[in-house]
Every structure is written in structure tokens, then in C-alpha cells.
Structure 1
Amino acid sequence: MYPARIIPELKRQGWKPHGLALAGSAVARSLREVGIEPLTVATKGRALLQLGRILAYLKAHDIRVLHCHKSSDLRLGALLVSLRPSLKLFFTDHMGATRPKKDLYHRWAYGRVTRLFSISEATRARNLHAFPLPAERIHRLYLGIDIAPYAPRLAPAEREALRHELGIPTNAVAIGLPGRLTNGKGQVPWIEALGILRNLAPGLAWHGVLIGGLTAAEGSDEAYVSRLQERVASLGLEEKVSFTGFRRDLPRLFEALEIVCVPSRNEAFGLTVIEAMAAGKAIIGADSGAIPELIDATCGRLAPPEDTKAWAEAMKTLIDDSEQRQRLGQAAQAKAVEHFQLSSHVQALLDEYVIGESD
């Protein structure tokens, strides 16, 4: 998803991006969708056997920057840089290393990396310990999004129709949790917190909305989805919680919500958080991983990811106070505009590319 997000902005800022991908892959399709016909190889192993073809492509197009986004691609990247020293190699670590990578192979591969980008301070702290690189070559580079699609567009009648489609009663405060339905995203403790919320304040009108695919093909863990559905039923929350399934219209779904929850235990960044910020939503996030770097008391609320009572109390407070929801949402939106715009992210990336060329 990342290359497809930034390519239009790279083009707008005057660069000519190219792509290398596995034939028939989702990456290849996403590149074509944004106007890039990628150079393709059948397998990663075949790519190593076609180094001459790839090097000829790089030379023909005067490509000087190579940017990898999976550690398994660095073997190829390091080989290309070794054979074409004019190339500068960049690598974005999207997860944060969980174990040391300082053996002989990793020293060779990462030794050819001009810059390693960490997508948050939390992941950079882990990467400083894990990678065989000096601190000055590991930079924090926050992700960004196009803010414009998250501006409200629905007329009141359209918004109410969408809420009805999602099973949200007319006068209920809608609390959404977007993201893949998989362990680690915090859906189980969130559902438990909703059970506590119902008992804590039985008179409150609210409705929970789980946004995410329900099948493996949609990126979710089907056994985990069944577990969530069973827990909703066992708590007697069937009328209080909806499962939307996979949706492509997340910016519009945000319009149907008043509160967005992100209880993930260890987010490397928190793209959903900045999307909700751009939509001007009141957000409750986990006080772990990178989320506290994105929101604080001025623009959201934080709670320990496994503390179900704290989540219930945080939700109750925001359900009770529409003015606080509006104030937090406005502050979150202003922060997203100031710090997390895609154009700013790409400009920072290009600055690194240029500096890399002069190193």
C-alpha cells in the first residue's frame, strides 16, 4: 500500500518513480493502478538470477535511488548497490525489529544502506539496538496521509442512511474500532470493555462498530473473528455491536462515528490513528507502542490496552460529553494537518534522497 500512496505525490513533486515487483503480485497491481508499469520478476530467487537485466534497467532509466520496504528484499538491494556503486539504498522498517540483526550477513546487507527509516520513535529505539548501523543512519520518518478525503462530505440524510446500514440507532453515540480483525489489534479487550460499559452506565445510548474484513481473503484471522462473534454473543451485546466486514469507504465510515478506538497492544505507527485525526474524531488509543507519539491529552485519550475498566470509563466520559468530543476532534484534526500530511512526508523523504546522493 505504501508505494501506491506516495507515488502520485512523488510525481507531483517532479520525480519519476519506477517499480520492481513480483509478477502477478498485489504490489504489481497497486503500482499499475497509480500509473507505473513495474519491472517484474517471477520469484525473488529469479531476481537474483536476473541481476544483469535489472542493472540494465537501472542504467537505461538513470535510476540513482533504490528504496526497499521488506527486509527480505535487502539481499537484492545490497547486491545491486555492490554492482552499481552510484546507487543509494534506502530501507523503511515498517514494524520495528524484535531481535538483533548483527550477524555477518546482516552487517554486509545493512552496511550498504544509506538510510534506514523507522516510522516512529518507538520503532527507532528498537532499531538502534537491533541493526548494525550507527545512530546517524537510522532516522525517524513518520508516515503521512492525504488529508482531503477525510473531510466530511455526507449530507445529514446520507449520514443517517449510512448509520442505519451499519446498525447504529438514531440517537446512539457510535464507537468504532477500525482495523484487521486479528490478535494484537485489541478487539477482545475492547468488547470486554463494552460489556463493562453497559453495566457501568445502563442508561447511555451507544453502539459499537467493528470495521474490518471477516475472512482470510480480506486479511483477517477467521478463527479470531469467530472468537469475537462468540464473545459478543456471550456478553449479550448482539444488539449493541455491529461487524461491518471489509469496507473501502473508511473516510465515509468515520462520518458515521463519534468516537474511534485504537486499542492495539504495540502499534509500530498507527495509521488508523492519523486517519481518525484527519476526520476530526475523538480518539481513545492504547498507551503503548507509537500511539502516544500521535495523540496526547490535548487531542485524544489514552488507556492501557488490556485495562478493560479504563477503556469503559474513557468511553463513558466521551459518550457523556459531546463538547469534549468536538474539542478533541478539532485539536486532532489540526495536529494531523500540521504533522501528518502526505505531502510533508514525501518532502521529508525526498530531502533524505538528495542528502543521500551527496553523502
Structure 2
Amino acid sequence: MSRVLAFAYPGDLSLRTGGYGYDRRVIAELQALGWTVTLLPLGDGFPAPSAETLANAEAALSALPDRSLVVIDGLAYGVLDSWANAEAERLRIVALVHHPLALETGLASDEQARLRASERRALEAARHVIVTSPMTARELSANFAVSPERITVALPGTDPAEPAGGAHSVPQILSVGTLSQRKGHDILIAALKTIEDLDWQATIIGSRTLDPATTGALERQIETLGLGQRIQLTGEIQDPRPAFAAADLFALASRYEGYGMVFAEALAHGLPIVACAAGAVPEVVPPAAGLLVPVDNVEAFASALRRLLEDGKERRGRAAAAYAAGSELPSWTDSAAIIARSLDVLA
């Protein structure tokens, strides 16, 4: 059996986002399992590339030899529908869908409809589809006409960690996520304003460059609310694990998550969680480990934060539940083995 594949990805594979982190770890684990993986960059700007970038990406993919096995990250694959249908018989195409493109926050209705249609057409041409959560599998089956037998669910892996130190005299609140509309940092900041009577310091880790408009809006919000001395926007950092280890509480108000790797990371470090019941988050965060509130509800988010900050006993209990849940999460080796079994069938 030939264990050779091309892994096609848009943008910069080194970016510290959950999707790219998943790609990097799966590639490394597949190589450790004996797969030869050739990286195939598709260019910047996806899922809204320039005409030139799209043409170059299609040409690079079409240059693959007949019967090549190619895994394509969904951030690009969802708009490669014309190419995918033209090459579906010649190549063995596997789509890796972190979450459907049309479910990104802030899209205009016509753009959402266009992306939903193009991704549905692209997925029709894939031999197989890998997703990162059961929720995304259900979404693709219900709304993108992907039959369950063509879907493999491979949860992201999580590295084991020691319980976070916690117990600071001033509680440390950690949030990790790209500064984009979907991550809901504006809701977190507004909620923190309503509990400024309590002691806390907050750190938000995430790229400031992928969505400059949102970054600027968050900076202005912090300044306007007078929270510049209490909320730090660190930008992207190479290794956020020390920040998890030093935190008392994890809070992220995402409006949608296809899985939410940072929530799994928080569980692995034994951090109690405040989040929104959005996308796959309820599947990742057990009820005993965190408080989940409705999306875009500042009052509810603030109430949950206040509850855990004021009640040390509850915070410690949820921390223990988080660590227990984190210890049961799959490893990256487990995740890659699931993917490898699906690829072996195609190879």
C-alpha cells in the first residue's frame, strides 16, 4: 500500500490558529505513522482569493499526477468547487473541514449563500471528508448533502498538562483566540466592564493582523471603557501553554466553533471555563467544568464570570472537573490514527 499524499493548504501554515495548529500536528503525526506528506501551498486570501491566486492554486493542484491522494484544507476547498468537479475522477480528493465557510461570523447574506453553494458543490466532488467534531459531521450531512459514510470525525488531539497554578491574589482571566468577530472578544470586554468592581486581570492572546478592523475596534473599546490597565492584548505568541498554566479562569465568548481547541487546552490545564453555547462548544466543555451562556449576551457572560470569581469553592470544583475531563481527551496520535485509517482505504 502506497502511503503518499499531498496536503494542500491556504495562507501561512505556521499561523497560531486552531485550524492551522490542527493541520500541523496531523501532518507530523501522519509522517510518524509512515506517510510521505508533500506540502502544497495554495496562496493567500482564502476563502476570498484574488482571481490570480485562485487560478494559480487550481493549476498547482491540477499538476498532481493521476490518482494522487490529496487532502485539502477546507478554508480553501470550499471555494475550489469548479476545480474539484473537473478533477474528481482523476484525483482522490479528501476535504478537511474545520467548520463550514458560510458559518463565519459577519458575512453578508449574499456572501453566505454564495459560500454555502460553492462548498456544497465542492464537497460533492470529494471522495471523503474529514471533520473535527460530531457537530460539524451533522451539519454537513444535514445541510451540505454529505452522506455520513463519507465522513470521518477526528477530534483534535490535546497534549497532557499539569493543573494550572491558579489561586492568585488577583484572579487571572485568560482568553485565547484570533482577534476576529467570531471569537466574541467584544462581548468578553463588555462583560469585564460590568464586573470591574471585582479584582481581576485579563489577558487576550490572539493574532492582531488577520482581521485589522476587529483588532482596531477592540483596542478602541478597551480604551473607551477605561480598561487599559486591566486587559492586555498580547497578540499571537509562539507557545501559549505558560499562559494557560498561570491562569485561574478561561473565558472566550465565541459566536461559533467547529470544535474549539482552546477549550480542550483549558480543560487539559484544569481551568474552569466561561463560554457561549455556540457550535461544538457544548460538546467540548462538560457541564461540570464550565458555565455556558447564550451567544452575544453580555449580562449573562458577566454574571457567569462574577459567579466564578466570587465563589472560590465553585471555581475550584469546576477546575477539578475540567482537569478530569481534560485527562480523557484524545492525543494527537489518536487523532492521526483515525485519519490514517480513512486515508488507507483511499490509498
TM-score scaled to structure 1, two decimals? 0.74
SS, match of residue 71 in structure 2: strand
Using the TM superposition, give the Cα deviation of residue 327 of structure 1 relative to its aligned residue in structure 2, in angstroms.
3.2
Amino acid aligned to 1:348: I
Tell me the distance in 2 between the aligned counterparts of 1:336 and 1:104. 37
Using the TM superposition, give the Cα deviation of residue 220 of structure 1 relative to its aligned residue in structure 2, in angstroms.
3.5
Pick the aligned partner of 1:54 from 59, 64, 68.
64
Pick the aligned partner of 1:261 from 239, 247, 251.
251
1:82 aligns with 2:89: yes
1:138 aligns with 2:151: yes
Pick the aligned partner of 1:225 from 199, 215, 224.
215
1:23-172 correspondence runs (5 A) = 44-46=54-56, 48-49=58-59, 53-55=63-65, 65-69=69-73, 70-71=76-77, 72-73=79-80, 76=83, 79-83=86-90, 88-96=92-100, 98=102, 99=113, 107=121, 109-145=122-158, 147-148=159-160, 150-151=161-162, 171-172=169-170
Contact kept, 8 Å, 2:81 with 2:118, in 1: the verdict is no
Contact kept, 8 Å, 1:68 with 1:74, in 2: the verdict is no
Pick the aligned partner of 1:213 from 207, 211, 214.
207
Percent identity between matched residues is 23
* Distance of aligned partners of 1:105 and 1:330 in 2 relative to their CA distance in 1, 3 Å threshold: closer
Tell me the distance in 1 between the aligned counterparts of 2:192 and 2:119. 48
Q: Which blocks of at least 5 consecutive residues in structure 2 are unaligned?
A: 1-19, 47-51, 103-112
- Per the alignment, residue 17 of structure 2 pairs with none
* Distance of aligned partners of 1:260 and 1:229 in 2 relative to their CA distance in 1, 3 Å threshold: same
1:183-332 correspondence runs (5 A) = 183-198=181-196, 202=197, 204-214=198-208, 216=209, 219-221=210-212, 223-332=213-322
Contact kept, 8 Å, 1:276 with 1:283, in 2: the verdict is yes
Choose 1 or 2 for highest CA Rg: 1
* Distance of aligned partners of 1:82 and 1:244 in 2 relative to their CA distance in 1, 3 Å threshold: same
Using the TM superposition, give the Cα deviation of residue 94 of structure 1 relative to its aligned residue in structure 2, in angstroms.
1.7
1:342 aligns with 2:336: no
Tell me the distance in 1 between the aligned counterparts of 2:152 and 2:30. 20
Using the TM superposition, give the Cα deviation of residue 240 of structure 1 relative to its aligned residue in structure 2, in angstroms.
2.3
Q: Which blocks of at least 5 consecutive residues in structure 1 are unaligned?
A: 28-41, 161-169
Tell me the distance in 1 between the aligned counterparts of 2:217 and 2:101. 29
Tell me the distance in 2 between the aligned counterparts of 1:152 and 1:104. 44
Pick the aligned partner of 2:172 from 138, 152, 174.
174
- Per the alignment, residue 166 of structure 1 pairs with none
SS, match of residue 191 in structure 2: helix
Tell me the distance in 1 between the aligned counterparts of 2:135 and 2:62. 39
Contact kept, 8 Å, 2:81 with 2:119, in 1: the verdict is no
Using the TM superposition, give the Cα deviation of residue 51 of structure 1 relative to its aligned residue in structure 2, in angstroms.
7.0
- Per the alignment, residue 26 of structure 2 pairs with 6
Superposition CA RMSD, Å = 3.3
Using the TM superposition, give the Cα deviation of residue 22 of structure 1 relative to its aligned residue in structure 2, in angstroms.
3.9
Amino acid aligned to 2:219: Q
Q: Which one has more relative contact order, counting CA pairs under 8 Å at least 6 apart?
A: 2
Contact kept, 8 Å, 1:96 with 1:124, in 2: the verdict is no
**Structure 1 consecutive aligned stretches of length 4 or more whose deviation exceeds 4 Å:** 46-53, 73-81, 99-107
**Greater alpha carbon shift after TM alignment, 121-130 vs 287-296:** 121-130
Using the TM superposition, give the Cα deviation of residue 250 of structure 1 relative to its aligned residue in structure 2, in angstroms.
0.6
Tell me the distance in 2 between the aligned counterparts of 1:244 and 1:96. 28
Task: Give a deviation string over 1:211-246, Cα, whole Å, max 9, x none.
Answer: 2233x2xx242x333322332233332332222232
SS, match of residue 117 in structure 1: strand
Tell me the distance in 2 between the aligned counterparts of 1:118 and 1:105. 14
Using the TM superposition, give the Cα deviation of residue 75 of structure 1 relative to its aligned residue in structure 2, in angstroms.
5.0
Tell me the distance in 1 between the aligned counterparts of 2:253 and 2:57. 40
Tell me the distance in 2 between the aligned counterparts of 1:102 and 1:247. 33
Amino acid aligned to 1:90: V
Contact kept, 8 Å, 1:6 with 1:346, in 2: the verdict is yes
* Distance of aligned partners of 1:245 and 1:49 in 2 relative to their CA distance in 1, 3 Å threshold: closer
* Distance of aligned partners of 1:104 and 1:265 in 2 relative to their CA distance in 1, 3 Å threshold: closer
Contact kept, 8 Å, 1:299 with 1:331, in 2: the verdict is yes
